[in-house]
């Protein structure tokens, strides 16, 4: 026979912590604590199965259900020596919902159930406090009237306000027992007027009303909408917990508090918590009274004058200390508990896994391994990879004052202060004079790269999480706030206006790319300090994971950072980033303006030594590790100047008129540059560009080999859609390699592969793999093309999509496993049919997203590549994927 | 044992016409004619297998091969009573290559082989014409020297030029036998000087030299490149045909000519041809002498004074007449023959299927069915669907004079004359006053729709075959030349400059969208006149095909044209095309500018009656046929004005400032509009727009139902990538339908489906088909996204791709079956797993491309939909696909 009711309390329980599906999170943990022998007020849980029965049987209960509940209630009465509805010996209960997942929108809690005109008197005499009793009663009427009976909240508020008006008082605390009695009378009258029947005086009727209300609330509109948005199945149902009330506010031998078994900020293995004497749970949370420390240690560290619980209630504290030891040993994790002391006796009301900072999470995990509480795998699984970002970047000093100017999107984590500049040139100039700057733009473009490189932080008023500014900033590890729409930027005046206040060039601001906040002035920041615990953890991580982690990097700084953070090579070196350097851009532009192969050759010859030097530097830093170099990818118009003066410079250098430059720019204009003349299409139409790049790579390789370094360049052709695109360009690359081998008398160890970033390439992977030695999935472009969604333009509607539940996650942040993911799987499967040992990696933004890393691990890729600052995140995510 | 040598002649042959793979096209047909008993100069064919052996065995021949050739040659000698190399009785031969497919780049022909210093004298006496003999000899040396021995052509030219200089003559014909002897002497000396050995005098050595040269030419660079470009496998090989020479230039009882068994222009069942007395085959082609008619009928029709062959050589003609009958009966198709009369005797040198105009092709096919020569299926297969375009549009009068201004791409077929206008407003204004105009633009945009609609033709100086101008013009059946880059257009001056000549507004020009030519003035055109034969053929076509053909149309004119051309419904009605009408655009713009739901509602209310009227008109024209209506698709910024004055109009109408309009335009700007805020994304962010459109559709349906018409609206949601996009919008549509049903008290028969035009939609078709009642493949966008290729921007490199052989066909013209096609197949397969009877169509540009239609037929689609003028093409292609 189905068991619908699970009792707990008195050192035993029908359920346990593993039964969350049936008893909900709260019910399961109450049962677990009871069974552990901890002092839990007795009660019982009505199962989620009962909820499902109720829902599917026109709001009725299974046979015998009411008898089971009555029996369970009897057991509670017997356990406590109290009786439900007995004025002389009154048992009050709380009724709480509790589903498998925490879920707003459902009925939450009714306290003090069982009070009526008779029992309230009993509570008054039992507590010796009449005011307490009537205050409790009116609270119950209000709560029950609102959530169970459906009387609108404002009806109660109005009565209370009138009463206070009449009495000439302002605070609820000023009302006496007598006053509350009057209010209760008015409440009762009003409820009867609203409902056409009196407020239920029968405790049993009250109980069933509350239980019905919880079960019904599972199907109300808000709950249904929430479930749809969060993919929670309807048939999970909710449980109902009925539990004897205990009171922390019956006098000075009463208290209530919360405690963490370890310090949730530092992770220190020490009790940490707060309590209040003669108070209810809400009072601690509400912050009306200043809570006191749990321990002497805490009190001393905090410099508080208020005595700790260790001092004021040594017996209850000792009991609590025993509970702590018991719970940690049992749950093997840091716990967050709620407790109440009623007339000297400790009652545990809740325990759950405690939230903690990343720093604390790491310390606790590492400590618990040392304490033999958990093993290394468990320690690894304990850390949320996404949270690691917190400790890898500078953060705002929590103690510092801050004056908020506005808020945008947390586009690239970390905090930074600096003087505002409004364009890239100014950023470089100000930095040149030793100033720290924040680059403020409406939006950024590749032309701004110079300024973005030197700026301490980047702020844009337009663009989303995957705008140019956001992507580039994350790649460089520079803090960035994007899309701060309430700030108005004027490039001409070089001002930023916030609610009427105008800030100008040179004014100090601070941005927090972790929260999206923009603040006035310089707010103090704290530099990241990676602990020994971090190193320990990452050591375990590397021993555990099976998928490699590389970094996307092109500058020596980024490459060095990447290696420090544990990158095992470069998975994406974007050669075009090297083109924007101020010394070089003029040659790049000359190359583009060139109208004969000869003049283009001249410009390319000028670029060759720069590009070779880039690779020489990279190869030195990445000695012994593979470096994947992507040949020129963006459309040429991205390199052309937009300002008249820059155009004049280019015209002069190229020996043509400004009109020629403008005409060339107009000619290169594209309607959809993302789908335009870029990637390998450039290589096929201007093979000399790719040839120059290949030469630079191979000459640098030859030099490095002669210098005794181990270099493994992987030359990567972007945006391939057709087998022939790849074969033609592979020929160009191989031919150049042969020439360099001959010129330098060395043997070059290199491979040639391609990006898989177009749906067609994924589908035709078998053809392409006949020639390509590796694939690197460009999941940014693959997402753009598979979904027909421009990363730069999606901001206009993607938020609405997420609000409507049409899209769960931003597909540019976490890979769309169903669509884009299927293309990845298809490409892997087909690629391997022609080349079983083909090397497979991914170098899109998704390489640093934990959920995506799991997908790539499961798909069997050899490595992921992400921005240097996300390398530790990817390593951890990879280890977790291996353990999952 | 492998047979390497196949003899023919003397009324029999080892091979036949079916053996093209082994004998090449020429060899197989010579064999066939021989076996038919036609007078073919005897000879033999060396097989393609021999070629492959030669190629794969270091240019050597199989054992016994030389003996087989010798024996075959003996047989020819015996047959004719002549001897190879015998001055007294000389046999000369031609050596020709002949592969399965006609293939430039290979060695073609050596004539008169067997001539040497001795045999030339024999030829002189046999022909009685010494000059003829020596001229033949020097031609042989020249030809053999060039193509077999590799002596550069100019060497021969130089000697001949010198000789003529010395003699003071200008024409070759002025040289005497003696002169030729001198030239030959110089040739011989030069050849020996170039090669270090004398010109081969041994006929057998000559023969083997020529055979070697043909086989070797199969592997030369030009041939290899050509094969790669045309996907011809290397192992096809070429055959070699060695055949006895016959001469049409031995005197007045000799002649040479070509003949078609039916009139290749009209298709008339009458002999048609030309001949020249005392001439060689080249003379007919070269056009130095005016050829004479074959028949009296022809001579009289052409008004020629020169006698026909029927008159001058009645015997040979009678023989030729018999050949005609024999060949047509045998080949069951119109033949194109070459013949020679040597000293009164007819020799057939070649027969092949004759080329013909579309009109002739249709007439011949229909006639041959009536004549019981072929069946209906064969008649259908005989017509090239692509060629049908020729007869559906006006064409230039071939007799009219034309002055060419320039050439662009043949973007939309048909010819048109009119006065030049340079913008849409002018086009409408000039048309309003009764002028015919050609709209001349650098490129067009959706704003130009009004002018494009009224213009007789469209000319752009930029953009490719799939530019906006090209696509829209084809849809409207308006002639269009796009990308005529040598013409310079100046909008400000309203001029078009061509090589210094300036033409202005109002000047007459003519464009031919079939050839891409642009001409000065009005060139006379001929209106298409569809024959009864055409109707007969299309009747057979419709009985044969199994895939439906619909049209893409939104205007009443287009819909009526479509129905006339046999469309079985509308497969794509683009509702946004209706938005550009000058009366409506202001409301559309107001709707876009609207910053509150109320002001948007006002604009939408104003649009509703217009949109409803559109559908009412369409439903009337398409009574009884299905109409698929696509809800708003393009990004909103396409509707916004660009000129200051238009912006002012919108601002005034919307009651806002011009700055607000500009700001809204700036806000709507997109980097990649193709991948931006469009399609169903508009429906999700502005559901009221789709609601208005759905209401217009359903109200028009309700009216039509009440008027007794049969209406089957299929409401189509564009650009779906996610299942939820479709379900949310289907709800909006269904809800609106229910409202209209209630308001009008009718039951509506409609369906709701989606475009499949994004790779993700194809991959997730099983999910989407759970809700969608039909799929229509949007292969334009599917091509853009699968290949990551913007239709508007691909022009910059797609031509280079095709030249390099990287891309065989423009994927926007003919579907990329490997990539895009696979997505179509995946979507069909997966869609049917959730909805086995899902209706499947395609409405991209590919719906009118024959190769693509075949693919769609094979894939199992229910229908294709194309522009009205391509409906007959699609019908024919569909019938051919069904027969294939």
SS3 assignment for A137-203: HHHHHHHHHHHCCCCCHHHHHHHHHHHHHHHCCCCHHHCCHHHHHHHHHHHHHHHHHHHCCCCCCCH
Average pLDDT over residues B604-629: 96
A672/B contact by beta carbon, under 8 A: yes
Of residues B733 and A228, more confidently modeled = B733
Which chain A residues contact residue B684 at CB under 8 A?
797, 800-801, 804, 806
Phi, psi of A437 (to 5 degrees): -125, 155
Q: Of A100-114, A587-601, A679-693, B656-670, where does mean pLDDT reach its minimum? A: A100-114
A614/B contact by beta carbon, under 8 A: no
Calpha distance B795→B411 (Å, rounded): 13
Of residues B596 and B181, more confidently modeled = B181
* pLDDT on residue B466: 67
Q: Residue A55 CA to chain centroid, in angstroms?
A: 35
- Judged by CB atoms closer than 8 Å, whether chains meet at B796 and A719 is answered as no
CB contact at 8 A, B281 and B139 = no
Closest-CA residue of B relative to A785 is B785
- Judged by CB atoms closer than 8 Å, whether chains meet at A675 and B801 is answered as no
Which chain A residues contact residue B793 at CB under 8 A?
670-673, 675-677
CA geometry: angle at A780 spanning A779 and A785, to 5°?
A: 90
* pLDDT on residue A284: 67
Q: Residues of A numbered 778-807 whose beta carbons fall under 8 angstroms of chain B's beta carbons: which are they?
A: 781, 784-790, 792-794, 796-797, 800-801, 804-807
pLDDT in tens, B685-705: 999 999 999 999 999 999 999
Closest-CA residue of A relative to B826 is A763
* pLDDT on residue B470: 85
* pLDDT on residue A286: 58
Which pLDDT band, with edges at 50, 70 and 90, does B468 fall under?
Answer: confident
* pLDDT on residue B620: 96
- Judged by CB atoms closer than 8 Å, whether chains meet at B785 and A790 is answered as no
- Å between B663 CA and nearest CA of chain A: 13
- In three-state secondary structure terms, A171 is coil
pLDDT in tens, A836-877: 999 999 998 899 999 999 999 999 999 999 999 899 999 999
Q: Catalytic residues of A, which ones?
A: 468, 843
CB contact at 8 A, A784 and B789 = no
Which chain A residues contact residue B756 at CB under 8 A?
none
- Judged by CB atoms closer than 8 Å, whether chains meet at B790 and A671 is answered as yes
Which chain A residues contact residue B764 at CB under 8 A?
818-819
Q: Is B480 a catalytic residue?
A: no
Q: Residues of A numbered 413-442 whose beta carbons fall under 8 angstroms of chain B's beta carbons: which are they?
A: none
- Å between B722 CA and nearest CA of chain A: 8
> Which residue(s) pair with A110 in the sheet?
A95
Average pLDDT over residues B565-574: 96
Could you give the C-alpha distances from B416 to B337, B357, B393, B562, in angstroms and in order? Answer: 37, 21, 10, 21
* pLDDT on residue A288: 62
Average pLDDT over residues A348-371: 92
- Å between A674 CA and nearest CA of chain B: 7
CB contact at 8 A, A17 and A23 = no
- Please name the member of A673, A757, A760 whose beta carbon is closest to the beta carbon of B671: A673
Q: Are strands B863-866 and B839-842 parallel, antiparallel or unpaired?
A: parallel
Map tokens 């020994």 to a residue: A532
- Please name the member of B764, B793, B820 whose beta carbon is closest to the beta carbon of A671: B793
Which chain B residues contact residue A764 at CB under 8 A?
818-819
Q: Residues of B numbered 713-732 whose beta carbons fall under 8 angstroms of chain A's beta carbons: which are they?
A: 719, 721-722, 724-725, 728
- Judged by CB atoms closer than 8 Å, whether chains meet at A721 and B681 is answered as no
- Judged by CB atoms closer than 8 Å, whether chains meet at B801 and A684 is answered as yes
Cα separation of the two ends of chain A: 36
Average pLDDT over residues A549-566: 93
Which pLDDT band, with edges at 50, 70 and 90, does B579 fall under?
Answer: confident
Q: Residues of B numbered 651-670 whose beta carbons fall under 8 angstroms of chain A's beta carbons: which are they?
A: 670
- Å between B798 CA and nearest CA of chain A: 9
Give which of B462, B731, B759, B771 to mutate to test A binding, by max A Cβ within 10 Å.
B759
pLDDT surpassing 70 at residue A229: no
**Tokens (6 digits) for A257:** 């508090």
DSSP H helices, A200-248, are 203-217, 221-229
Percent of chain B with pLDDT over 70: 99
- Judged by CB atoms closer than 8 Å, whether chains meet at B685 and A796 is answered as yes
CA geometry: angle at B310 spanning B304 and B311, to 5°?
A: 75
- Judged by CB atoms closer than 8 Å, whether chains meet at B787 and A760 is answered as yes
Average pLDDT over residues B462-489: 84
pLDDT in tens, A270-316: 999 889 998 877 666 555 677 889 999 988 888 888 899 999 999 99
* pLDDT on residue B645: 84
pLDDT in tens, A452-480: 988 999 999 987 776 788 878 887 788 99
- Å between B453 CA and nearest CA of chain A: 24
- Please name the member of B671, B792, B807 whose beta carbon is closest to the beta carbon of A790: B671
Phi, psi of B777 (to 5 degrees): -75, 120
CB contact at 8 A, B427 and B439 = yes
Closest-CA residue of A relative to B725 is A806
- Judged by CB atoms closer than 8 Å, whether chains meet at A763 and B784 is answered as no
Helix H or strand E segment including B84 = strand B83-84
Q: Of A742-751, B288-297, B672-681, where does mean pLDDT reach its minimum? A: B288-297
B446/A contact by beta carbon, under 8 A: no
Q: Is B866 a catalytic residue?
A: no
- What letter would DSSP give residue B496? E
Which pLDDT band, with edges at 50, 70 and 90, does B229 fall under?
Answer: low
pLDDT surpassing 70 at residue A811: yes
- Judged by CB atoms closer than 8 Å, whether chains meet at A724 and B806 is answered as yes
DSSP H helices, B36-116, are 48-56, 65-80
Which pLDDT band, with edges at 50, 70 and 90, does A507 fall under?
Answer: very high
**Tokens (6 digits) for A198:** 């009196």
Which chain A residues contact residue B801 at CB under 8 A?
684
Calpha distance B90→B817 (Å, rounded): 57
Residues constituting chain A: 884
Which pLDDT band, with edges at 50, 70 and 90, does B27 fall under?
Answer: very high
Residues constituting chain B: 884
Calpha distance A589→A636 (Å, rounded): 9
ipTM over 0.85: no
Write the secondary structure of A628-649 as one string of H (helix), E (strand) and C (coil). Answer: EEECCCCCHHHHCCCCHHHHHH
Q: Residues of A numbered 740-769 whose beta carbons fall under 8 angstroms of chain B's beta carbons: which are they?
A: 757-760, 763-764
Which chain A residues contact residue B671 at CB under 8 A?
673-674, 790, 792-793
Average pLDDT over residues B537-543: 97
- Judged by CB atoms closer than 8 Å, whether chains meet at A721 and B787 is answered as yes
**Tokens (6 digits) for B333:** 């198709």
- Å between B441 CA and nearest CA of chain A: 16
Which chain A residues contact residue B721 at CB under 8 A?
786-789, 819
Sign of CA dihedral B32, B35, B40, B44: positive
Calpha distance A103→A235 (Å, rounded): 14
Q: Out of B393, B453, B468, B587, which one is annotated catalytic?
A: B468
Nearest partner of B871 among B528, B407, B561, judged by Cα? B561
User: What is the number of alpha carbons within 13 Å of residue B848 lying toward its C-beta?
Assistant: 25
pTM of the model: 0.82
- Judged by CB atoms closer than 8 Å, whether chains meet at A789 and B675 is answered as yes
Closest-CA residue of A relative to B668 is A796
**Tokens (6 digits) for B780:** 């334009």
Q: Of A253-257, A764-768, B596-600, where does mean pLDDT reach its minimum? A: B596-600
Could you give the strand order of the β-sheet that contains A501-504, starting from the edge strand earlier in sequence?
Answer: A487-490, A495-498, A501-504
Calpha distance B572→B871 (Å, rounded): 13
* pLDDT on residue A174: 85
- Please name the member of B724, B728, B788 whose beta carbon is closest to the beta carbon of A675: B788
pLDDT surpassing 90 at residue A483: no
pLDDT in tens, B150-190: 999 899 999 999 999 999 988 887 889 999 999 999 999 99
Average pLDDT over residues B859-868: 96
* pLDDT on residue A395: 87
- Judged by CB atoms closer than 8 Å, whether chains meet at B797 and A684 is answered as yes
Calpha distance B131→B399 (Å, rounded): 41
- What letter would DSSP give residue A446? G
Query: Which residues contact residue A603 at a Cβ distance below 8 angstroms, ignoring those fewer than 6 apart?
Result: A587, A588, A590, A591, A594
Q: Of A33-37, A638-642, A715-719, A828-832, where does mean pLDDT reach its minimum? A: A638-642
Give which of A671, A758, A779 to mutate to test B binding, by max B Cβ within 10 Å.
A671
Which chain A residues contact residue B231 at CB under 8 A?
none
Closest-CA residue of B relative to A674 is B672
Which pLDDT band, with edges at 50, 70 and 90, does A365 fall under?
Answer: very high
* pLDDT on residue B393: 86
- Judged by CB atoms closer than 8 Å, whether chains meet at B758 and A797 is answered as no
- Å between A758 CA and nearest CA of chain B: 6
């Amino acid at each position: 026979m189905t068991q619908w009711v699970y009792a707990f309390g008195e050192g035993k329980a029908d359920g346990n912590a593993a039964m969350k599906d049936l008893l909900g999170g709260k019910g399961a943990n109450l049962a677990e604590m009871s069974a552990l022998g901890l002092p839990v007020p007795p009660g019982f849980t009505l199962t989620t199965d009962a909820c499902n029965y109720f829902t599917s049987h026109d709001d009725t209960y299974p046979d015998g259900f009411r008898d089971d509940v009555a029996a369970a209630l009897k057991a509670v009465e017997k356990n406590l020596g109290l009786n439900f509805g007995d004025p002389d010996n009154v048992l009050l209960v709380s009724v709480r919902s509790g589903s498998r997942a925490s879920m707003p929108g459902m009925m939450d809690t009714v306290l003090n159930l069982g009070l009526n005109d008779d029992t309230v008197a009993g509570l008054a005499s039992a507590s010796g406090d009449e005011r307490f009793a009537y205050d409790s009663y009116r609270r119950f009427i209000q709560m029950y009237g609102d959530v169970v009976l459906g009387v609108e909240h404002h009806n109660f508020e109005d009565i209370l306000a009138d009463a206070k008006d009449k009495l000439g008082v302002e605070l609820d605390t000023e009302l006496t027992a007598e006053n509350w009695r009057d209010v209760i009378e008015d409440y009762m009258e009003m409820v009867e007027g609203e409902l056409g029947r009196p407020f239920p005086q029968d405790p049993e009727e009250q109980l069933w009303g509350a239980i019905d209300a919880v079960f019904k609330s599972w199907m109300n509109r808000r709950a249904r909408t929430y479930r749809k948005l969060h993919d929670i199945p309807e048939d999970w149902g909710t449980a109902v917990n009925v539990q004897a009330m205990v009171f922390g506010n019956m006098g000075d031998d009463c208290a209530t508090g919360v405690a963490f078994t370890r310090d949730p900020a530092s992770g220190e293995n020490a009790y940490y918590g707060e309590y209040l004497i003669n108070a209810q749970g809400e009072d601690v949370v509400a912050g009306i009274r200043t809570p006191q420390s749990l321990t002497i240690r805490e009190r001393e560290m905090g410099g508080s004058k208020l005595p700790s619980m260790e001092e004021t209630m040594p017996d209850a504290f000792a009991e609590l200390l025993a509970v702590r030891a018991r719970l940690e040993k049992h749950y093997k994790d840091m716990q967050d508990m709620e407790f109440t002391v009623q007339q000297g006796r400790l009652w545990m009301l809740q325990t759950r896994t405690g939230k903690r900072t990343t720093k604390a999470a790491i310390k606790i995990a590492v400590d618990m391994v040392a304490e033999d509480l958990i093993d290394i795998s468990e320690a690894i699984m304990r850390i949320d990879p996404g949270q690691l970002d917190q400790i890898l970047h500078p953060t705002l000093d929590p103690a510092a004052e801050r004056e908020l100017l506005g808020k945008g999107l947390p586009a690239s984590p970390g905090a930074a202060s600096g003087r505002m500049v409004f364009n890239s040139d100014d950023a470089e100039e100000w930095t040149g004079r030793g100033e720290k700057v924040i680059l403020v733009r409406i939006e950024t473009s590749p032309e701004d790269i110079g300024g973005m490189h030197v700026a301490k932080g980047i702020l844009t008023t337009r663009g989303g999480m995957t705008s140019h500014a956001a992507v580039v900033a994350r790649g460089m590890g520079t803090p960035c706030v994007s899309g701060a729409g309430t700030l108005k930027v004027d490039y001409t005046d070089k001002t930023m206006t916030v609610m009427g206040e105008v800030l100008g060039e040179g004014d100090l601001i601070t941005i927090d790319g972790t929260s999206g906040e923009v603040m006035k002035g310089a707010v103090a920041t704290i530099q990241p300090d990676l602990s020994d615990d971090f190193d320990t953890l990452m050591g375990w991580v590397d021993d555990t994971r099976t998928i490699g982690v590389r970094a996307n990097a092109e500058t020596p700084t980024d490459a060095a950072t990447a290696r420090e953070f544990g990158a095992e090579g470069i998975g994406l070196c974007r050669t075009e980033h090297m083109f924007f350097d101020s010394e070089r851009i003029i040659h790049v532009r000359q190359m583009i303006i060139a109208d004969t192969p000869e003049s283009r050759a001249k410009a390319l010859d000028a670029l060759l030594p720069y590009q070779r030097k880039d690779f020489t530097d990279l190869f030195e830093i990445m000695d012994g590790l593979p470096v994947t170099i992507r040949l020129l990818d963006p459309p040429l118009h991205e390199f052309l100047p937009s300002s008249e003066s820059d155009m004049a410079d280019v015209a002069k250098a190229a020996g043509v008129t400004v009109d020629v430059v403008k005409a060339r720019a107009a000619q290169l204009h594209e309607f959809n540059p993302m789908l335009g003349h870029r990637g390998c299409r450039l290589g096929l139409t201007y093979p000399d560009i790719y040839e120059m790049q290949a030469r630079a790579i191979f000459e640098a390789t030859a030099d490095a080999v002669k210098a005794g370094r181990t270099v493994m360049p992987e030359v990567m052709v972007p945006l391939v859609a057709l087998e022939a695109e790849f074969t033609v360009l592979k020929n160009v690359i191989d031919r150049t390699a042969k020439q360099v081998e001959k010129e330098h008398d060395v043997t070059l160890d290199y491979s040639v592969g391609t990006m898989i970033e177009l749906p067609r390439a994924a589908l035709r992977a078998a053809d392409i793999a006949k020639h390509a030695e590796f694939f690197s999935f460009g999941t940014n472009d693959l997402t753009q093309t598979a979904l027909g969604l421009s990363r730069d333009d999606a901001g206009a509607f993607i938020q609405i999509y997420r609000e409507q539940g049409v899209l769960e996650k931003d597909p540019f942040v976490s890979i769309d496993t169903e669509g884009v993911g299927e293309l990845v799987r298809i490409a892997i499967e087909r690629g391997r049919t022609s080349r079983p040992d083909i090397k497979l990696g991914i170098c899109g933004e998704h390489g640093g997203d934990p959920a995506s890393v799991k997908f790539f691990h499961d798909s069997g890729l050899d490595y992921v590549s992400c921005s240097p600052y996300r390398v530790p995140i990817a390593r951890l995510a990879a280890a977790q994927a291996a353990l999952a």
